[in-house]
Structure 1
Amino acid sequence: MFTGIIQTLGTIRPLAGDYWQISCVNHASESVMGDLAYGDSVAVDGICLTVEEILKDGFIATASPETLRRTTLGKEQAEPRYVNLETSLRVGSKVGGHFVMGHVDGIGRMVSAQQTATSWEMTFTAPDAIARYIVPKGSIAVNGISLTVADYDPEISQFKVAVIPLTYAETNLRYLVPGSWVNLEGDILGKYVEKFLYGGKRDLAADPDASRDEITPTFLAEHGYL
């Protein structure tokens, strides 16, 4: 489990087979490499990967076919490829963002990024598998970064977030251009609410287009959530 608070940037490149090499790139690398051990979990752009070999300034991990299918690792992108890195949450540590599992639900694209007086307003697309968990002022992980949804337009499946300058400068958001792929993970709390509402009668994760009642404030009130 992670919190969506990025510790440092890294680069990633494919090796033979399903192996990937992740290397830290800046002065904050000690926050990741300081006590990194074989078998540890590290969120790489929001993807939970297991450390299989430790290098001087990084590590090697395996990405399964399912991971490649569901995440940006399976997409061709320009090099160098910068990734956000975060080690797993320790018991008793501060939770500065929200609970991020590292289990990417799907990928979206950046639509636009506009600088304002106090932040960057960034807009992303979201596939149906994630869109149903997006609510204004709720949490979403974009490339492993815990962000708050500022606005959501269900008609075009796009959401907007306001990114503070520190987050923009310290993560790979600053390298995104319109059309860039991003990993998206919906809030785990929304997934449990959905599970309780439907009682496990439908496998919505496997079939995002399955018929379902619309979750509205009225629907939640009728089921005791408001």
Structure 2
Amino acid sequence: MFTGIVSGAYPITRTVIQDGLLTFAIDLPAELMDGVEVGASIAIDGVCLTVTRFTTSTVEFDVMQQTLNVTSLANLKVGDMVNVERSHRAGMEIGGHIVSGHVDGTAEVVSVEQPTNNYVITMQMPETWMKYVFPKGFLALNGVSLTVADIDKKNRTITVYLIPETLRRTTFGSKKSGDRINFEVDRQTQVIVDTIVDFLGNLAQHKQLSGDEIQKIQNQLLLPKE
């Protein structure tokens, strides 16, 4: 389990590409190496990965094809910076929100704006996942717990605002249009939405409500307001 409060951004130092498998290594500072062991879970750009090998200053991971298909990790190369978060420990503060590290997919950056004292990123989401995203709701983006500021349901875009501390600790300051961002929707929100949809579907199946009535209720409850 993670909280979406990343410790920092650190460089990829080695990659090995094999058929259906990517192995890569990251250099980490001493404070993040404390307690690392084979089998430990660490979030890399929001993806929960298992430590397979380590030294006093380096951790190594193996990434299978399924994860490469769903996330942005397939594009990693030596020198790239990635967001890193160690797994949450009992008793520690949850500064963001509960994040599993099981990434749902990638969103594409469509614009980066820098008005005075602000940093604004807008990205396009896959249509099937938009129903789980709401204004003021949580979303993990490259492992960072962020609040959704605006939603454009017609264009399937979401907008987030980043404070200077987030830019300092993460890789968001280097993002540009066309880049892919790993996202994970809030699981509690997903459960609520799916439960409502299933419940309404059962009502329709038993003809307690018409299809038009079901659609109207879904639109009122689940679609972001303009």
Q: Letter of the 1:148 partner, please give it.
A: T
8 Å contact 1:47–1:102 — kept in the other structure?
yes
Offset from partner CA, 1:29-63 (integer Å, 9 cap, x none): 23321221111100000000000111232211111
- Name the % identity: 32
1:86 alignment counterpart = 85
Give the 3-state SS of the residue equivalent to 2:134 in structure 1. Answer: coil
2:69 alignment counterpart = 69
8 Å contact 1:42–1:88 — kept in the other structure?
yes
Give the 3-state SS of the residue equivalent to 2:183 in structure 1. Answer: strand
Distance 1:58 1:39 in 2: 14
Where does the alignment leave 5 or more consecutive residues of structure 1 unmatched? 203-211, 221-226
Query: How much has 1:113 moved relative to structure 2?
Result: 1.6
Q: Letter of the 1:141 partner, please give it.
A: A
1:21 alignment counterpart = 24
- Of the structure 1 ranges 113-122 and 88-97, higher mean CA displacement relative to structure 2 is found in 113-122
Where does the alignment leave 5 or more consecutive residues of structure 2 unmatched? 202-213
Distance 2:42 2:62 in 1: 12
2:46 alignment counterpart = 46
Distance 1:53 1:86 in 2: 17
1:157 alignment counterpart = 156
8 Å contact 1:105–1:129 — kept in the other structure?
no
Q: Give runs of aligned pairs for residues 94-105 of structure 1, distance below 5 A.
A: 94-105=93-104
Structure 1 residue runs of 4+, over 6 Å off? none
8 Å contact 1:8–1:31 — kept in the other structure?
no
Give the 3-state SS of the residue equivalent to 1:15 in structure 2. Answer: strand
Distance 1:85 1:195 in 2: 30
8 Å contact 1:21–1:58 — kept in the other structure?
no
Query: How much has 1:196 moved relative to structure 2?
Result: 2.3
Give the 3-state SS of the residue equivalent to 2:149 in structure 1. Answer: strand
8 Å contact 1:150–1:159 — kept in the other structure?
yes
Q: Letter of the 1:3 partner, please give it.
A: T
Seen in structure 2, the aligned counterparts of structure 1 residues 129 and 32 have a Cα distance that, compared at 3 Å, is farther
The structure where helix makes up a greater share of residues is 2
Query: How much has 1:118 moved relative to structure 2?
Result: 3.0
Q: Letter of the 1:167 partner, please give it.
A: T
Seen in structure 2, the aligned counterparts of structure 1 residues 201 and 168 have a Cα distance that, compared at 3 Å, is same
Q: Give runs of aligned pairs for residues 1-226 of structure 1, distance below 5 A.
A: 1-12=1-12, 13-17=14-18, 18-24=21-27, 29-74=29-74, 76=75, 80-199=79-198, 213=215, 218-219=220-221
> Bigger radius of gyration, 1 or 2?
2
